[in-house]
Amino acid sequence: MEKILNYINGALVEPINNAYLDNYNPSIGKVYNQIPDSNEKDIDLGYNAANEAFSGWSKTPKEERSKIMMRIADLIEENLDELAKAESMDNGKPVKLAAHVDIPRAASNMRFFATAILHYASESHEMDGVAINYTLRKPIGVVGCISPWNLPLYLFTWKIAPALASGNCVVAKPSEVTPMTAYLFSKLCVEAGLPKGVLNIIHGMGPSVGSPITTHPGIKAISFTGGTATGKAIAKVAAPMFKKLSLELGGKNPNIIFADCDFDKALKTTMLSSFANQGQICLCGSRIFVERPIYEKFRDAFVAKTKQLKVGNPNDADTNLGAIVSKAHLEKVLSYVQLAQEEGGTVLAGGNKVQLEGELSEGYFMEPTIIEGLAFDCRTNQEEIFGPVVTIMPFDTEEEVVDMANSTEYGLAATVWTQDVGKSTRLGASLASGIVWVNCWLVRDLRTPFGGVKNSGVGREGGFNALNFFTEQTNVCIKL
């Protein structure tokens, strides 16, 4: 059985303890390769390699760093088919989605930060003939990047690219649930000539690999995307060590549909914002609020379209939903359907595990699910489910829907459908959310601030925000 390897000091290596974990293909429900079960000793090796490489990499001219990153981006594109198939096999998502979204975005992440660093400038403050201040922005040193399973290579590169571009060396941990594309990526880094030690990718579990990254005294900044509970645990250990922290956590996003919307566009995009990637995107709109005059019309059209979605083989071009990422996660998502019914909800579509045939008979498939009749403040409407399950509710006034939308502990993304500019600007201001999309969803300009408020996270990624995060400032004041 194929073994995934760690990438430390420029080489692909076995974990020190030679222990491995099983890696499942969620579409067939079977182990298909093995992943290093690394521990703090491998983190020490990775850290030492990164620390050694730092002086060279941080002094490498930006243009040179940029060129190497651009070569990695080219290699991602040249290997798009292989990467997309690997992502699908590891995560369960349709190959088509990985080929159109995940892998192209990984290349864009590398290219975006490879060029952003060339345009990165810092401030100067002149004091009326007294002195002039200028701000130097220096790389931090060795930084840690920890990423989740839902958009594996996409989110992994979203962190690594700005860290490397700004001259840091990295110890990175992909999710143990979806390690494959990070492994293939490490091979591309070797091929592209990334100097040894600049990036170290170490595989394994959260407690044995993620935790030693967050507690390592030499790793001065942590960029993390994942669950809110894990984010809380990381903040607890990293804050007293005065580490810089960027936390991208969960969401329970409202999708607000006013009666004056472009109905067809709202419906078409709601299909995606509800069920893309089996609903396993932290930006998915899982609470749908529809203004009462169009509630029944929208609900019926949405239910009819959802029933037509194909849950099936991720390799088929006409598959809309592939497998849920793991057995444990499928069980968690199904338990929320049960909870919703206990809380008085009615399942309008889906609600069940899907039993496919042949090779896929043991896979973790689930119907896209719509639930009606729940109070906005019940558990189903407050807790992150992170699967193909949405709730739908009517509303009467703008004030009421803003209150319901803002009622959760999360505040990552919101979507608003209206033709009224005044209403959209009012909601843009009053929704407690890091991102508000009006008449669209998941339209991403990589320069914009990305992140959430409340328990959805701390800090912002994207554009110069990410370069600011991965640099330390020194103000130099010169007396005139």
The catalytically annotated residue of 87, 176, 248, 372 is: 248
Tell me which of 277, 384, 404, 433 binds ligand TXE, using CB under 6 A.
Answer: 384
Compute the least distance from the CB of residue 316 to ligand TXE, in Å: 25
Compute the least distance from the CB of residue 412 to ligand TXE, in Å: 7
| Residue 173 near ligand TXE by CB under 6 A | yes
Tell me which of 38, 39, 225, 313 binds ligand TXE, using CB under 6 A.
Answer: 225
Pick 159 or 299: Cβ nearer ligand TXE: 159
Stretch that binds ligand TXE, among 35-43, 172-180, 345-353, 360-368 (CB under 6 A): 172-180
For the window 175-214, what string marks contact with ligand TXE as x by the rule CB under 6 A?
A: xx----------------------------xxx--xx--x
Compute the least distance from the CB of residue 75 to ligand TXE, in Å: 24
Determine the Cα–Cα distance for residues 303 and 320; give it in Å rounded to an integer.
Answer: 15
Pick 314 or 452: Cβ nearer ligand TXE: 452
Determine the Cα–Cα distance for residues 274 and 348; give it in Å rounded to an integer.
Answer: 14
For the window 418-437, what string marks contact with ligand TXE as x by the rule CB under 6 A?
A: --------------------
Please indicate whether residue 282 is annotated as part of the active site.
yes
| Residue 56 near ligand TXE by CB under 6 A | no
Compute the least distance from the CB of residue 384 to ligand TXE, in Å: 4
Pick 143 or 282: Cβ nearer ligand TXE: 282
Tell me which of 156, 376, 386, 395 binds ligand TXE, using CB under 6 A.
Answer: 386
The catalytically annotated residue of 261, 282, 367, 372 is: 282
For the window 280-319, what string marks contact with ligand TXE as x by the rule CB under 6 A?
A: --x-------------------------------------
Q: Which residues are catalytic?
A: 248, 282
Contact residues for ligand TXE, defined by CB under 6 A = 146-150, 173, 175-176, 205-207, 210-211, 214, 225-227, 230, 233-234, 248-250, 282, 384, 386
